[in-house]
Structure formats: C-alpha cells, structure tokens
C-alpha cells in the first residue's frame, strides 16, 4: 500500500466514524413542555382620567446673613387638588399622548419674625 492509499483510507475511516449512529432507528423529536405562557401584547392606547392631591412639607425658614435677620420657622399649610384627563396612542413599543391637568389651591406660610426681620 502506498502512503496515498493509507491516507485516503484513514480519511474515509475518520469520516465514517464521525457520522451519527442511530441504534434504535430514526428518532422522533419530542415536543418540550411550555415553561411559561407567551405574554399577551399590552395595549396602552386610550382615554385616561386621574385625580391627585398634594401637600407641602417642611418649614419656611429664611435668613439674611449680611443683615443678621432671620425668621423663626413655621410649617407650610394648604393643599393642591388636581384632576386630569388625556388620551394616549401606541405604535409598537412607543406610547405618546396628550393630557390636560387642572390644579387649584393655596399654600400659606406664617413665620414669626425676629427683631431684625419683618
């Protein structure tokens, strides 16, 4: 045998050895069980309404260092009730829209003053 014949025989043997072998005949693919249901696509398009109320927090301390004037802190009071309405459109993953919000109310603060600040 020549070296070319040996090389061709080794290549043929390697090719045959690398083919898949099925001992029990053809295999039927098994369908895997579904782990999680496919999520429904959410539709964010449509009319919306809202109500809200806000309230201030903190105190209203004021100081003017150059004049040595300062107020004694006092709490804010009041509320801002708000109503809103709008419409949103959805195109794919993008949601855009318009809204109108109307707010009214009043915030008051009544600090007591020091001798140098009035």
What are the pLDDT tens digits along the chain (118 aa)? 677 777 778 877 777 776 666 566 666 777 877 777 766 667 889 999 999 998 887 666 666 666 666 666 666 778 889 999 999 999 888 999 999 999 988 877 665 555 554 4
**pLDDT of res. 63:** 63
**pLDDT of res. 46:** 93
**pLDDT of res. 29:** 79
**pLDDT of res. 82:** 93
**pLDDT of res. 88:** 94
Dihedral Cα 22, 23, 24, 30, nearest 10 deg? -40
- Nearest to 63, CA basis, from 113, 106, 27: 113
**pLDDT of res. 112:** 58
**pLDDT of res. 73:** 64
Q: Please give the model's pTM, rounded to 2 decimal places.
A: 0.45
Cβ neighbours for 21, distance < 8 A, ≥ 6 positions apart:
none
Helix (H) or strand (E) holding 53: strand 46-54
């Amino acid at each position: 045998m020549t070296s070319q014949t040996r090389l061709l025989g080794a290549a043929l043997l390697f090719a045959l050895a690398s083919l898949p072998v099925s001992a029990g005949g053809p295999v039927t693919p098994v369908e895997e069980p579904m782990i999680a249901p496919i999520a429904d696509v959410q539709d964010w398009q449509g009319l919306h309404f809202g109500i809200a109320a806000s309230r201030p927090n903190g105190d209203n301390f004021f100081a003017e260092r150059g004049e040595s004037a300062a107020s004694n802190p006092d709490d804010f009071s009041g509320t801002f009730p708000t109503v809103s309405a709008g419409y949103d459109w959805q195109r794919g993953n993008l949601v855009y829209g318009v809204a109108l919000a109307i707010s009214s109310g009043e915030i008051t603060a009544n600090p007591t003053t020091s001798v140098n600040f009035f």
